[in-house]
Amino acid sequence: MKNRWRAFLFIEAVLVLWLIYQITTHLFILGMIILGLFIFFSVQSSKKENKTPYYLISLFLILFSLFSLTSFWVFLIVNGVWLLSEGKSHLKKMDNRLFKHAPWNKKDMIVVDTVEKMPKNGKKIKYEWLGNTKIGDQVYEWDDINLSVLAGDTIIDLGNTFLPKSENFVVLRKGFGKTRILVPTGTGILLEHHTLNGKVIFEGETISLSNETLKIYSKDYDESTRKLKIITSVFLGDLEVISV
């Protein structure tokens, strides 16, 4: 691997020397590049308010000169071939090192262990009145959801739980903000939604409501063994129900 890098760097050095040679032996090309650099640095130190046209002229003169040289084209082709053959693996390794904990790399397959349903004792769950709320960012045992939110965006993710083969409920009362509910594919959905003003996005369809109540079923509701009833009341805000 080191030998390949050495060979590549040697070729790059040769091409750079060839490029410098062609620039210095073509007086017209050399003059164009010097003129472009002169305009660039002159404008940079000036007090002109709109410098963009001068920068564009400078860039045009330099690029026009370089693209007129054979050595520059060969330089670009060699680098392009190298990036296609070797660059992908190095970029992937760099991405794994630098962005190991980035959101797009956190794609783990999670298997939810299931047990026999057990009797439930009374419990109390605290939700915030204000601010963004997210339910289901970790694996959890399913229980019907019933919450009230004054203002903020709300995300309810049912992908990290296991819905029983029965009727399940999500009840939400909300003042202001957007709401997104993620439902596992194959679950029959009944949505009852009321809002003073907002939109509902359900199975690819967008429905606008103005002080109206909407009751809608998913296409596979009757055939599904697992059913989810979503009952929401929002003063102002959009609701999106997505199958995942």
Question: Could you tell me the pTM of the whole model?
Answer: 0.49
Residues ≥6 apart with Cβ < 8 Å to 122: none
What's the confidence (pLDDT) of residue 193?
Answer: 94
What's the confidence (pLDDT) of residue 204?
Answer: 87
Contact 228, 158 (CB under 8 A): yes
Contact 52, 34 (CB under 8 A): no
What's the confidence (pLDDT) of residue 231?
Answer: 95
| pLDDT tens per residue across all 244 residues of the chain | 567 777 778 888 888 899 899 888 888 888 888 998 888 888 877 777 777 888 888 889 989 888 888 888 988 888 888 777 665 555 555 555 555 555 444 444 444 444 455 555 566 666 666 667 778 777 777 888 888 888 888 898 888 888 888 789 999 998 888 999 999 888 899 999 999 999 999 988 999 999 999 999 999 888 888 899 999 999 889 999 998 8
Identity (one letter) of the amino acid at 176?
Answer: F
What's the first-to-final CA gap in the chain, in angstroms? 43
* 234 burial type by CB count under 10 A (0-12 exposed, 13-18 middle, 19+ buried): buried
Contact 190, 222 (CB under 8 A): no
Domain residue ranges of the chain, discontinuous segments joined by +: 2-105, 133-243
Cα 77 to Cα 26, 33, 41, 71, 72, distances in angstroms: 22, 22, 30, 10, 9
Which tens digit of pLDDT belongs to each residue from 212-236? Answer: 999 999 998 888 888 999 999 998 8
> What's the DSSP call for residue 226?
S
Angle between the N-to-C axes of helices 70-82 and 52-67, in degrees from 0 to 180, rounded to the nearest 10: 90
Residues ≥6 apart with Cβ < 8 Å to 97: none
Distance of alpha carbon 127 from the chain centroid: 28
